[in-house]
Amino acid sequence: MVENTAARRVEKLSAVKGMNDILPPESARWEAFEAQVRVLMRRFGYENIRTPIVEPTALFVRGLGEVTDIVEKEMYSFEDRLNGEALTLRPESTASVVRAVVEHSLLYNGGKRLYYMGPMFRHERPQRGRYRQFHQIGAEALGFSGGEVDAELILMACALWKEIGLTDVALQLNSLGQPSERLQHRSALIAHFERNMDVLDEEAKRRLHLNPLRLLDSKNPAMQGAIEAAPKLLDFLGEASRAHLDTVTSILSANGVAFSINPRLVRGMDYYNLTVFEFVTTKLGSQGTICAGGRYDYLMEQIGGKPAPAVGWAMGVERVLELLKEQGLDTVGAPLDAYAVIPEVSALPRAMACIQQLRDAGVCVTMHTSTPDGMASMKSQFKKADASGARYALVFGPEELAQGGVTVKALRETGIPQVIQPLDHPAQWAKSLQSNA
């Protein structure tokens, strides 16, 4: 019976808007970057933490603040169909890390330095450098109050830029002071914007008395003049807050780290106090912030734990990699060592036994595979071997196998003689295939 296949064709599915597949070869850049980050974190004594992607909605509402962009309009929140729980796909990880630290009493014998990497979710308008699922790498130092830890985190980010070769980033710093200082600034801020009501958009008007600091974070061009002229939190800082900022800046200067003080830098969440900072580039359009963070000494308490100071940052992996691409540094060379050419199906068991031992010895090998018609011609197998980027072809031909050997043929470099190696003792010659051996 002949069926109408066209009519039965299944509708194609695609990824959710703003959520990307990360495919080879680009995924190799991701892996390499993540590996560099892991090494660096270890060097600074930061340990890995992995928290769930789904959290109770209340964690973010309480942690980030009700009147923030994320909580007001960007969260993927839903009700669990089975038990009605209010859940949210994490829009960031600081609140989750703090929850986990409190839940497991991780600070029982002193401070903890932690890092994480993984996907975050925000319902924003997708554009270059702004996605609905994106990836952050974050570092959090919890239980430490000194400004030297703020500086350590900033130096760690700088070390990462250096490690990966990123040059075009500028560091901006500010201090948000302490709650009492903010309260005084708040009154001055409200009074200032009340005098400038005509330029405020609807959102700003609504937020003015709820959370006036948020107005400084507005991207509305019409409001920039009023934002420029607004009273600066820096002018409301007391002695201790100033001293904290001085500690940070003097350590940065001693390390040759350039920075500028941006009195209008306030960050998007309510949990920050004292130091806030952003690493910014001009190369990615308006999505120029690649890493941002600050101190959040009151979040632990707000989430229901014992009060403890903390500081951290999060970087947008997509933006960092995009910037590397701008600088022409996006390729990573990790070619295959060898491609197995297997002329006959009957050779597969012996060939794969040999390949397995090569892999055990650290050689990167892929192999040609069969179709229902058997193995392809030598010519087309060699074509594939060439296209794979492998440095060597391993030929498991009947003549070689008969004498217990496999032919090793260089595919790229000239002047390397073709040799037959012992099939049953791959460990003896595995090293000769490895570029870094």
Q: Which residues bind ligand ATP (CB under 6 A)?
A: 92, 122, 124, 129-131, 134, 136, 268, 287, 289-292, 314-316, 318-319
By the 10 Å C-beta count (0-12 exposed, 13-18 middle, 19+ buried), 325 is classed as middle
Residue type for position 310: A
Q: Which helix (H) or strand (E) holds 340?
A: strand 338-341
Q: Which helix (H) or strand (E) holds 261?
A: strand 260-261
Nearer Cβ to ligand ATP, position 244 or 319? 319
Percent of the chain that is helix, strand, coil (3-state, to 5): 40, 20, 40
User: Quick check: 277 and 94 in contact, CB under 8 A?
Assistant: no
Task: Please report which residue ranges of 314-360 form alpha helices under DSSP H.
Answer: 317-326, 348-360
Beta carbon of residue 219, minimum distance to ligand ATP (angstroms, whole number): 8
* Residue at shortest CB range from ligand ATP: 316
Q: What radius of gyration do the chain's Cα atoms show?
A: 28
Beta carbon of residue 281, minimum distance to ligand ATP (angstroms, whole number): 10
Beta carbon of residue 317, minimum distance to ligand ATP (angstroms, whole number): 8
For residue 425 the two structure tokens come to: 């003792």
Those residues whose C-beta lies under 8 Å from the C-beta of residue 176, and which sit 6 or more positions away, are: 182, 213, 233, 266, 267, 272, 273, 274, 275, 276, 294
Nearer Cβ to ligand ATP, position 29 or 391? 29
Beta carbon of residue 19, minimum distance to ligand ATP (angstroms, whole number): 11
Nearer Cβ to ligand ATP, position 200 or 290? 290
Nearer Cβ to ligand ATP, position 88 or 289? 289
Beta carbon of residue 394, minimum distance to ligand ATP (angstroms, whole number): 43
Nearer Cβ to ligand ATP, position 196 or 287? 287
Nearer Cβ to ligand ATP, position 113 or 132? 132
Nearest to 225, CA basis, from 183, 203, 193: 193
Nearest to 97, CA basis, from 156, 145, 133, 46: 46
Nearer Cβ to ligand ATP, position 64 or 336? 64
For residue 354 the two structure tokens come to: 């040999």
Nearer Cβ to ligand ATP, position 142 or 351? 142
Beta carbon of residue 135, minimum distance to ligand ATP (angstroms, whole number): 8
Nearer Cβ to ligand ATP, position 201 or 424? 201
Catalogue the long-range contacts made by 153-156 (C-beta closer than 8 Å, 24 or more residues apart). Answer: 153/293, 153/311, 153/312, 153/313, 154/248, 154/252, 154/257, 154/277, 154/313, 155/251, 155/252, 155/255, 155/257, 156/40, 156/41, 156/44, 156/46
Nearer Cβ to ligand ATP, position 76 or 429? 76
CB atoms within 10 A of CB 210: 10
For residue 260 the two structure tokens come to: 């500028």
Q: Is 324 left (phi over 0), alpha (psi -120 to 50) or beta?
A: alpha
Beta carbon of residue 366, minimum distance to ligand ATP (angstroms, whole number): 33
Q: Which helix (H) or strand (E) holds 186?
A: helix 179-194
Beta carbon of residue 279, minimum distance to ligand ATP (angstroms, whole number): 8
Beta carbon of residue 255, minimum distance to ligand ATP (angstroms, whole number): 22
Beta carbon of residue 69, minimum distance to ligand ATP (angstroms, whole number): 7
Rounded-to-integer distance, Cα 136 and Cα 118, Å: 6
E strands, 76-169, in order: 76-79, 86-89, 112-121, 133-142
Q: How far is CA 373 from the centre of its chain?
A: 45
Beta carbon of residue 127, minimum distance to ligand ATP (angstroms, whole number): 9
Q: Which helix (H) or strand (E) holds 290?
A: strand 289-295
Nearer Cβ to ligand ATP, position 294 or 305? 294
